[in-house]
Structure 1
């Protein structure tokens, strides 16, 4: 049964809470001299540079952590114990929820305050102001800024009633387990059975009736029953709309049916039994550790990879341009590679990789001689999202064509329900991948699921793919299942996916 209880807080959660508190203090303008905001940001920067886990920090009560004084330490310890950061709660009560959302959209505190002072305090109001020309007239925005914010507001409004595949699946599995424990059969239905990347909710098809389902789900943590509508039980589980419908007289079918979209019509698709499965993935590639912005050591990530039944770990810590994520300067990269080589000398199944930033002109963040010291290279875009389509496409084509690049990471840059991808001719990029034997990543992080299944479907048989978790924690390794579901929707088999190769065969392919 899926665990829907509060997840343990990571060090990154602490950093995020400190920064959010500082931002809201700045928006309020009540922090005379900005001393509290400065203290919280300084503590956040200090924690962000550490390699310790939140459990270690809790055990030592933050002793010896620079910029984390006794007061902030006590606030963070309470946050770890309760899941609530009191200073953030205090300031959040004074700022409308819609205005807080502007902070999360990347606007600085001064611009957020300017919007609030102008009476723009929600996403719908922001869209209206952008469309009417009001926003362009506010100092600091202008026509270009207003247009960008208007487009962002439209995206948020389109996304507000959608849920990630992971959220819907976890809710459905928790309800399914509860129903089955009561002797009631249940299987995914609707959008969930179709393995959509975002969904309006979760649906189960079950034996029995609404009264039996309601009885079985009563007491399930996070379950809120709304009622029965025409023989269907309607409610919410952990915030996700959940419906349970009669399965009908037809015999139970396979749990998932990924080929039901218009894009699949008329195609010769593999037998569903031959589609890629989680168990087919041998190598966990493109993972992060405490060397950059991950929360676990290389050894811990390897141990968890093997425990989950995979054969080897491929690392992928950030390059130097990603300074915000602890990206590795060349000398640090060599130290990191040396640790991996020492582990290999012990006979441990680990490969030395890096996620290397693609710079604005399409060049890479490390020189070729340094890249050649690695076992493989993932190249990704993390900046300059606002380039024109022609410039962005040229940038990605150049990177995909580089002889030392093996995998093009999250190729469209999208974050589901958060932002659109950058403007790019993805077919031109995938054509370059095909021509240069570069695998296109299907990033399994449920916020990404990038490459889109529609693009992978169009290019299957011509491009190779790599299904990667982009895991920044031990728990992130379990996200692989979501990437596999997207690959299934694209009709991919193990032969299409490079990390179904053994470690030696993958290394041979990468440096062949």
Structure 2
């Protein structure tokens, strides 16, 4: 149990109270307490009962609920509500765009208690006929259900990475005389993993298969398996697996072939030969020899996606890719001034302790009231604290930033006299996400044209496996960033990884710099920088084209020079 989980449990309780028509006053009191807890600076787990009791809205019943959550991970009211709620309704409540009131209506009028029943009702047109729904809402529900279904059994790379690595080491220990390597999406460090895949080289395939089938981690499906493959599901995880078998002699060939994407394998080495053709006819002891034989520059595994990397390798134009050690600072972070978990001091001290030269703090702007967005007085207060901390922590430096909401018309939050007080501005969309491509693109273009926009934050607003991003014309957006000298963020949060790596090379080709930003809401979020670097490398990102690979002095000059050039006074 942690701070965020307690907040999620209280929110679920509020949803279920609304669903079951609990006392309105009671619902409001819980919501009031939740609002106060979300806006507070402290970690609930670290607060004493006395300190919790002083928080506005936290009365006796809510204090008891929090105490129970800390010790048992639930509390009586929540337990009772869950007990009288069909399990499928809890899933329906997770569908984007359906609040408790709408779910209650669907339950009462159509008897819907599962996502399967909801989809059937939508497809038959029943949902559109209910008062307050209509055709548009019905179509949105269908799209959200299809998106959810299409992502079932898939995992974020960041969520599965540690487990797959541990399982790989376990296989190596178990079969120490065999060659073993993860292949497929995981080997290429794809942002989403739909199955775990390994290649095992052995001289006794039947023996290894027999032993593997007995390992408690794997649930083998014999109907899907064959003489050279084992398939099934990893126990305790909703994740499919495939284990391929080959001879030690063929291990280098098979490893390459099974790790590359189909598009990469079909890439032409010359007019007659693809990568796949070359793998079939040429034996080689390792990948280095393979590339050398075909006069190709070595292609890093994560780049073997079929996005023109073979053409670059033929011309020896694959650059030296960005390393995590190249990064000198961390931009786009939140503190307790808005919706962060750690104080400004804590965020700065941890950043410095990790060896970085600077921190960019960019809390939410005032329009993001749901996230404790900063009113003007809070901006001034934060900047005063930054000045004090900069004197204390020098030569480490905190840069004054803001994550300004891009409003519906594309304008930025705050008047010009406030915007000019920031060293940099991250401009991001957080609301009105149901835009078509024309409106979404126009909105971003307006923000990019604003001279105060330094960095375009998470350009599509996507949340991987949770929601699709709004559609944008990537080329038009990137071209505009080139024209107006706006940096594009690669948001390193594993749920975002936005800008998508597939557009990194185009951005660099247009002269647009990228910034690896964790969007950290607590010090632990700094660890996400790793995933931003991974997807940057997939797109061919270099140190030279990464904003926060600049030293503290260099980026301070960059911010200063850009403001002087772009903002006419």
Give TM-score scaled by structure 1 length. 0.89
- Matched-pair contact (CA < 8 Å) for 1:279–1:310: no
| Partners of 2:497 and 2:78 in 1: CA distance | 31
Equivalent of residue 345 in structure 2, options 292, 299, 309: 299
* Cα displacement (A) at 1:496: 1.5
Q: Does 1:472 align with 2:521?
A: yes
**1:239: which partner in 2?**
237
Larger radius of gyration: 2
CA contact under 8 A between 2:328 and 2:356: conserved in structure 1? yes
- How many Å separate the matches in 2 of 1:86 and 1:187? 48
- State yes or no: 1:25 paired with 2:74: no
CA distance in 2, matches of 1:143, 1:479: 40
Aligned length: 496
Q: Which runs of 5+ in 2 are unaligned?
A: 203-207, 256-285, 288-298, 562-569
> Superposition pairs for residues 82-481 of structure 1, below 5 Å?
82-104=72-94, 105-117=96-108, 118-179=110-171, 184=176, 186-205=180-199, 209=208, 224-227=217-220, 229=225, 232=230, 235-236=233-234, 239-241=237-239, 245-246=244-245, 249=248, 250=251, 257-264=301-308, 267-268=311-312, 274-346=320-392, 347=394, 348-462=396-510, 463-481=512-530
How far off is 1:243 after superposition?
Answer: 5.1
When the two structures are superposed, what TM-score results if normalisation uses the length of structure 2?
0.80
Match of 1:127, SS?
A: helix
* 2:518 is equivalent to residue 504 of structure 1: no
Q: What is the CA–CA distance in structure 1 between the aligned matches of 2:12 and 2:312, rounded to whole Å?
A: 50
* In 2: Cα distance, 1:484 partner to 1:426 partner: 20
CA shift for structure 1 position 211 = 6.6
Corresponding residue for residue 221 of structure 1: none
SS at match of 2:330: strand
**Cα separation, 1, equivalents of 2:9 and 2:401:** 31
- Any conservation in 1 of the 2:309–2:318 contact (CA below 8 Å)? no
| 1:62 and 2:60 correspond | no
Q: Does the 8 A contact of 2:153 with 2:238 survive in 1? A: no
* Helix, strand or coil at the partner of 1:343: helix
Q: Is the 8 A contact 1:193 1:256 kept in 2?
A: no
Shift of 1:414: 0.8
* Structure 1 stretch displaced more, 243-252 or 458-467: 243-252
SS in 2 for 1:481: helix
Q: Where do 5+ consecutive residues of structure 1 fail to align?
A: 1-7, 219-223
Which residue number in structure 2 is paired with residue 81 of structure 1? Answer: 71
For residues 119-178 of structure 1, the C-alpha deviation after alignment (integer angstroms, 9 at most, x for no partner) is 233333333333322111011101121122221122111112221111221221232344
Q: How much has 1:293 moved relative to structure 2?
A: 0.4
Residues 410-448 of structure 1 deviation map (CA, whole Å, 9 limit, x = unaligned): 000111111111132222111111111111111111111
Contact 2:213 2:219 in 1 (8 A): no
- Aligned to 1:506, the other structure's residue is in SS state helix
